[in-house]
Amino acid sequence: MSSTTPEMADRSYDEKAPAVEDRPVGPAQTTHVVALKGLYEDGVIDAAYQRKAQILNQAIQEIGMGQYQYLLFVTAGFGWFADSVWPLLTGLILTPVSNEFQFTPSYLTLAANIGLLVGAVFWGFGCDVFGSRWAFNLTLLITGVFGLAAGGSNNFVTLASLLAVVGVGAGGNMPVDSALFLDLVPGTHQYLLTVMSVFWSIGQLFASMIAWPLIANFSCDATSSTSDAAATCTRSANMGWRYLLFTLGGTTLALWAVRFFAFRMFESPRYLVGKGRDAEAVAVIEKLARYNGKEAALTVEGLQAGSSVKGDDVEGSLEDGEKTAPGTNTHVLSETSVFRMQHMRGLFATPKIALSTSLLVVLWGLIGLASTLYNSFLPFILQNRGNVYGDGSLYTTYRNNAILSVIGIPGAFLAGWLVELPYVGRKGTLALFSWLTGAFLLGSTTARSSRQLLGWNCGYTFSSNIMYGVLYAISPEIFPAKDRGTGNALVSTTTRVFGVIAPVIALFADITTAVPVYVSGGIIIVCGGITLLLPYEPRGRASI
């Protein structure tokens, strides 16, 4: 197998027919290797790091999509599952919990979203400092343990506090898992990050299918007046939401056990290179190749030689607060530079990348506000409208919620196909389905029966799952790997901040009216237009 060179990594990608070449990838093996051009133009990120990232990309591309990446797809999908289940949970249990504890429903959503915000900040920003492997395993553990504990809550304060801690764990899944997946999958298969949203849909379906029989059969009478509910809604008569928490907490712990005991998670090689740990990065490539039954030819010397910058003295050009590792010519972030927001500066290094980062932050914030405002109160809205139209039973409410969850599953596969289409790509798919999502939301205000409302929401669920699947993928694809954790944390934090704002809005608004729907639909339609302003299209480009 020939060694990888920067020239190979710089080969362009043909829109209609990707350039391929026969290259030996192991003993007596030959494969077609597609070399995708990097996403960024020269000068956007550090030249030494960029060349090394391109070499690592080519090495992973030559290893190809194999057993390790498919297992990583599934185990990283557990994070999408948790990211779907636990934010959805507060909406699922809102009615029976409020009947038992007699509190304003928005406060429970507020507590959960504060936890999600803390999780996005801590795990997202932290993985660029201490790596992603620990976060990959600990997020599910924290979520499962405190999810189980929340099922034993005897009062609202205890439940809200424990669900906030659950959010700290669940909030770290998306920023961490997407970064690790992109760093270990061949560039030609980055679209699988969009397809991974199927686990998000499966999580919705799983939670809804469990909630349907448990809450419908083991809850207080939802049609009772407030005074009656306060007197008759005891713990023993309202165990459904607790059974749901026990089930989801136990399931999350089981997924953590699979991650921790049955799968060996490798650290991101691009993270290691960014820290000047070239030998460890090469070792990860070698382990990855062996796992897939291949042989890697990349060496530390080859990686370092390929990263040299002609005509430049890399060490002499380092900024204050950086140092050069012995025997290498790459930048190593000092401990103090972490606190000087070195990773954050990388996301605003040039006007073009600053525009890209800023637009992504705006998109995540607005979509987070609109979706949280609507989704968090969807079961409540369905039941309230059902009462108006004559069918507001808990059974019908949660049955409809389960139907909506099924609708979202095929959307993930459609999204994976659309994002690879020429002239459509990530930006076109995201814009189109943002507009459709907003249109379905606005259309739902015309419903005059529970069946009509269900029909509009089926369209909303299908289109919004595609919208979110692409949004979850395009952001980490655009951010450079050395700053990806920080970038993911920035957008995740933004959407969680607006997720906290949403229930505060609901405290002062009448959520039994169509006002939250009008607001959510209008915001999402605006987001479709903002998407088209993004300066980078990741389709056909290797993330670096």
> By the 8 A CB rule, do 90 and 156 touch?
no
pLDDT at residue number 439: 95
Residue range 388-403, pLDDT digits in tens: 444 556 677 778 878 8
3-state secondary structure 357-400: HHHHHHHHHHHHHHHHHHHCCHHHHHHHHHHHHCCCCHHHHHHH
Beta pairing partners, 20: 34
The tokens 């599910």 sit on which residue?
A: 140
> By the 8 A CB rule, do 116 and 499 touch?
yes
Residue range 291-348, pLDDT digits in tens: 999 988 888 888 887 644 333 333 333 333 333 333 333 344 443 344 346 778 778 8
Q: Name the pTM for this structure.
A: 0.76
pLDDT at residue number 385: 56
Which helix (H) or strand (E) covers residue 306, if one does?
helix 300-306
- What DSSP assignment string belongs to 226-263? HHHHHHH--STT--HHHHHHHHHHHHHHHHHHHHHHH-
Query: When comparing pLDDT for 223 and 419, which is higher?
Result: 419
Ranges of H-type helices in 26-66? 47-63
Domains contained in the chain, CATH given: 6-64+267-343 (no CATH), 67-266+346-531 (1.20.1250.20)
| Amino acid letter for position 168 | V
Neighbours of 436 (CB within 10 A): 20
Name every residue whose Cβ is closer than 8 Å to that of residue 262 and which is 6 or more positions away in sequence: none
Residue 525 above 50 pLDDT?
A: yes
3-state secondary structure 113-142: HHHHHHHHHHHHHHHHHHCCHHHHHHHHHH
> By the 8 A CB rule, do 318 and 46 touch?
no
> By the 8 A CB rule, do 60 and 288 touch?
yes
Lowest average pLDDT, out of 146-150, 266-270, 430-434, goes to 266-270
pLDDT at residue number 458: 92
> By the 8 A CB rule, do 107 and 155 touch?
no
* Angle ∠(7,9,10) on CA atoms, nearest 5: 65
| Amino acid letter for position 366 | L
Beta pairing partners, 31: 23
Determine the Cα–Cα distance for residues 310 and 448; give it in Å rounded to an integer. 69
Lowest average pLDDT, out of 19-28, 31-40, 139-148, goes to 19-28
Residue 341 tokens, joined: 């927001």
Beta pairing partners, 24: 30
Residue range 439-476, pLDDT digits in tens: 998 898 888 777 888 898 899 989 999 998 899 889 88
pLDDT at residue number 283: 93
Per DSSP bridges, beta strands 20-26 and 29-34 are: antiparallel
The tokens 């088209």 sit on which residue?
A: 532
Of the chain, the percentage scoring pLDDT greater than 90 comes to: 32
- What DSSP assignment string belongs to 58-112? HHHHHH-S-HHHHHHHHHHHHHHHHHHHHHHHHHHHHHHHHHHH---THHHHHHH
Determine the Cα–Cα distance for residues 179 and 485; give it in Å rounded to an integer. 7
> By the 8 A CB rule, do 131 and 267 touch?
yes
Determine the Cα–Cα distance for residues 434 and 437; give it in Å rounded to an integer. 5
pLDDT at residue number 53: 83
Residue 226 above 80 pLDDT?
A: no
> By the 8 A CB rule, do 378 and 91 touch?
yes
Residue 220 above 90 pLDDT?
A: no
Determine the Cα–Cα distance for residues 286 and 266; give it in Å rounded to an integer. 11
Half-sphere exposure of 134 (CA within 13 A, CB side): 9
